Amino acid sequence: MKKKTTISKRLAIGKTKNGEQKRLKGVVAGLRKNRNGLNDKIRKQKNALVKKNGELRNGAEKQVRAEEQIHIRTKAMESAVDGIFIIDAQKQDYPIIYVNQSFQKMTGYQKKEILGQNYFLLYGSEADPQVIEKIKQTIRKEKAYHGETPNYKKDGKKHWNLLRITPVQDARGAITHYVGIQTDVTMMREKQKEIDEQREELLHVTRVGKLAEFVSSLAHEISQPLTSILSYAQAAQRMLADREPKLREILSYIIDDDQRAAEVIHRLRTLLKKSKPDMKQLDINTLINDTVELITTDATVRNVDLKRDFASHLPLVTGDRVQLQQVLLNLISNSFEALESSRDVREISIRTSLQDNDTIRVEVKDTGVGLPVENIPKLFTRFFTSKPDGLGMGLSISRSIIEAHGGRLDVDNNPGSGVTAYFTIPISTKDA
């Protein structure tokens, strides 16, 4: 602006010569052109700078973000509960190149002791060579491995390891690494073992109980004819009085043998006499949970939904744990069988509630086919069964167990479909 003003002033002053004026005009035009060109250049350079700057900033952000991602992933792997390790597959001896915290804790080895070592060295000398060979072969075939193996810590302690090894491929599909994840399943295995043992014990008790009931009923059936045989023979003996000594002798043999048979039955009955129940204070909800745990696998296999609806803070009851579990198992397995032929909802719900101030009520309800009405009164009769392979003992034993606990047990059809079996049990009177 200043420049422009100066030139205009000069023009105004020097109006003297035409030629001078023309020359000046040309100079001004040239200057203008130069100035415009300069402005363009500056603008272009500025734009380029802005662009470059943006690009740089973008790149830096991307870099930061990528670093963040790597950091998070590393952190995640470090914090994982499972042991994680990476093996370099491109080196001859397959060295471990990464382990996370949990891996160190599980094996008892420090990171520096592990890195660069072959994975199998960590198995210790007691490890099953066959298992190791199997894992090695799987890896050599470039396949994934999955299996439960016993493992030994640095201090020689054995633990069970659920191991999964998966190959990692590069862009061309070549295997460069293996990533391994291992979980300590020792506790789970122990728990499972405990459950299996409890289940076995319960099955045994149930079998013995069934046998005892069976023998008791059989004993009754046999003692009937033995009673009449004995009385017939003794009546005949009396009628003969002093006559027919030979016949009297025969009758005495009959009487002796009858009584021998009775003695055998008596001994058998004493042998199978139920052991005294082990009465303790129990929480019924815990008892049911423990029992349900025993049959969860069964329920899964049978595709049955097991529901629990427990009243909270129930008072304790006094009872024999194994016997009460036996009753529950019997009721649940009856429901399982009732659901066998049911196609729609396959559901068993176990409900506990306080029936009144002194009594707890336990219900096992299923959505099965229900019972034919005419069978209901016969359910508790020994030897009555609607199952092709049933003994007809379960409900009769269950009822006698519950009655011995001072409660009652009954079964009825639901208004809709299925059956509800329920029992009551008095609340423990002892101060808990």
Contact 325, 386 (CB under 8 A): no
Does 262 interact with other proteins (rule: CB under 8 A)? yes
Q: How far is CA 361 from the centre of its chain?
A: 28
State how far the Cα of 342 lies from the Cα of 37, in Å rounded to an integer: 92
Which H or E run contains 33? helix 18-79
- Residue number, 273 or 307, with CB nearest to other proteins: 273
Binds other proteins (CB under 8 A): choice among 14, 59, 147, 225: 225
Contact 230, 259 (CB under 8 A): yes
Binds other proteins (CB under 8 A): choice among 239, 301, 311, 345: 239
Site for other proteins in 95-154 (CB under 8 A): none
Which one of 42-50, 156-164, 196-204, 255-263 is the stretch in contact with other proteins (CB under 8 A)? 255-263
CB of 406 to other proteins, least distance (A): 13
Contact 332, 302 (CB under 8 A): no
Residues 11-28 as b/e (b if ≥16 CB within 10 A, e otherwise) read: eeeeeeeeeeeeeeeeee
Binds other proteins (CB under 8 A): choice among 138, 223, 353, 417: 223
CB of 287 to other proteins, least distance (A): 25
Contact 130, 148 (CB under 8 A): no
- Residue number, 133 or 221, with CB nearest to other proteins: 221
Binds other proteins (CB under 8 A): choice among 166, 228, 386, 414: 228
Does 234 interact with other proteins (rule: CB under 8 A)? yes
Task: Return the SS3 of 59.
Answer: helix
Which one of 66-74, 187-195, 224-232, 419-427 is the stretch in contact with other proteins (CB under 8 A)? 224-232
- The long-range contacts involving 145-148, CB below 8 angstroms and separated by at least 24 positions, are 148/185
- Residue number, 136 or 269, with CB nearest to other proteins: 269
Binds other proteins (CB under 8 A): choice among 36, 69, 110, 227: 227
Residue 347: phi and psi, rounded to 5, are -140, 140
Binds other proteins (CB under 8 A): choice among 4, 33, 62, 238: 238
What sign results for the dihedral spanned by CA atoms 143, 148, 152, 153? positive
State how far the Cα of 140 lies from the Cα of 396, in Å rounded to an integer: 61
Binds other proteins (CB under 8 A): choice among 224, 312, 357, 429: 224
Contact 302, 336 (CB under 8 A): yes
CB of 271 to other proteins, least distance (A): 12
Which one of 236-244, 321-329, 358-366, 368-376 is the stretch in contact with other proteins (CB under 8 A)? 236-244
- Give Cβ neighbours of residue 330 (< 8 Å, ≥ 6 apart): 206, 394, 395, 397, 398
CB of 216 to other proteins, least distance (A): 7
Task: Return the SS3 of 342.
Answer: coil
Does 266 interact with other proteins (rule: CB under 8 A)? yes
* Residue tagged 């033995």 (tokens): 226
Does 378 interact with other proteins (rule: CB under 8 A)? no
Return the bridge partners of 156, or none: none
Number of chain positions touching other proteins (CB under 8 A)? 25
Does 230 interact with other proteins (rule: CB under 8 A)? yes
Does 226 interact with other proteins (rule: CB under 8 A)? yes
> Between 168 and 207, how does the x/- string for binding to other proteins read (CB under 8 A)?
----------------------------------------
- Residue number, 269 or 351, with CB nearest to other proteins: 269
Report how far apart, in Å, the C-alpha atoms of 328 and of each of 192, 352, 397 are: 20, 12, 12
Tell me how crowded residue 332 is: count the other CB atoms within 10 A of its CB.
24
Binds other proteins (CB under 8 A): choice among 131, 185, 229, 250: 229
Q: Which residues bind other proteins (CB under 8 A)?
A: 216, 219-221, 223-232, 234-236, 238-239, 258-259, 262, 266, 269, 273
